[in-house]
Amino acid sequence: MKSFFDKNYQTPIWFKAKVKKEDNATKLSRRSFLKSAAGASAIGISSGMALPAFSLTLEDKNTLNELIKTDPWLTLDATLAHLLPESISSIKSGPSAKDINALAYLHQVMTVQPTSEDEKEFILKGVGWLNGFAQSQRGKAFVDLSFDEKEFMLRGISNSRAGENWLTTLLAYLFEAMLAPPAYGGNPNGIGWQWLDHQAGFPLPNKGQRYFELPPRARVKNEITIREIHSEKNDQNFVNANSPSISILSIKNQSVKKSSVKRTSKA
């Protein structure tokens, strides 16, 4: 495949799976957000909750400063900056790609987080395809174009399936850089949360406690625990629906079960 406009391109399985996962997460997050917001009025950035300390090391910054001098990171930085540009009225329009450390976040996605090799290859190849398109249309590399010319290029590739998928991938990482805990490299000092007036979950992970750094056994235990919780809830709902007297005995004997039974009966 030599360009975004290759007729033989087919959306890869990893991309379809990722989109499906994000769609499901969006559906669940609305419910979770409302629940957490209702009981977390005293928690969050607005109330002075301290974020886990994390910042790019001097070595990280120096590495990025060197990387953005050449491709692929030069073009990736320019693309992210165009998709989420700086604004004079940043308070109203929100933080920019630079403000949320978008490139640093993407660099971690590509080098630290367990991202599939196929996805990383697609992101990097997209840089060459974008520059090839810019050269064919304007005789320049993407980074050398004016703002309006860059807009024209990105709108142009978005008309192809591969181009649309490439831009969707970068936009998804922009949102992650804005909304993920700072320990993942983006969203410094919770700047994205502050702009959205969002109260983050608690506790927040520190570096060394990120999902991909957890021991495999801990992740498996987590999954088993979640399944057990769902199983217990289903069993409790069955008991409540079919044996009211048992539920009343549970209320008298167990204070924890008392609150859960009451919530079930009200629902």
Q: Do 248 and 191 belong to one domain?
A: no
The tokens for 181 are: 């805990």
| Rounded (10°) CA dihedral 86, 87, 91, 96 | -10
148: pLDDT strictly greater than 90: yes
Q: Do 111 and 160 belong to one domain?
A: yes
Which of residues 182, 206, 230 is at a domain's end? 206
Contacts 24+ apart (CB under 8 A), 4-11: 4/126, 4/129, 4/130, 4/133, 4/157, 4/160, 4/162, 4/163, 4/166, 5/160, 5/162, 5/163, 6/162, 9/160, 9/161, 9/162, 11/161, 11/165
Whether residue 7 lies inside any domain: the answer is no
Q: Do 202 and 245 belong to one domain?
A: no
Domain count, the chain: 2
Q: Do 125 and 42 belong to one domain?
A: yes
Q: Do 255 and 125 belong to one domain?
A: no
Q: What is the pLDDT of residues 25-84, one digit of tens each?
A: 554 443 443 334 333 333 333 444 444 444 567 777 788 889 899 999 999 999 999 999
Per the listing, tokens 């499901």 go with 24
* Cα first-last separation, the chain: 55
Q: Do 222 and 201 belong to one domain?
A: no
Residues 83-108, mean pLDDT to the nearest whole number: 86
**Position 263, amino acid:** R
Whether residue 8 lies inside any domain: the answer is no
Task: Look at residue 31 in the predicted model and tell me its pLDDT.
Answer: 40
Task: Look at residue 7 in the predicted model and tell me its pLDDT.
Answer: 92
Whether residue 129 lies inside any domain: the answer is yes
3-state SS of 123-173 is HHHHHHHHHHHHHHHHCCCHHHCCHHHHHHHHHHHCCCHHHHHHHHHHHHH
Q: Do 197 and 230 belong to one domain?
A: no
Closest CA to 33 of 247, 154, 161, 198: 198
Across 45-49, 98-102, 187-191, least confident range = 45-49
Q: Do 59 and 175 belong to one domain?
A: yes
Q: Do 66 and 186 belong to one domain?
A: yes
State the average pLDDT for the chain: 76
Domain of 233, in residue numbers: 217-266
Task: Look at residue 243 in the predicted model and tell me its pLDDT.
Answer: 38
Q: Do 149 and 254 belong to one domain?
A: no
Residues 143-158, mean pLDDT to the nearest whole number: 97
Per the listing, tokens 């957490």 go with 36
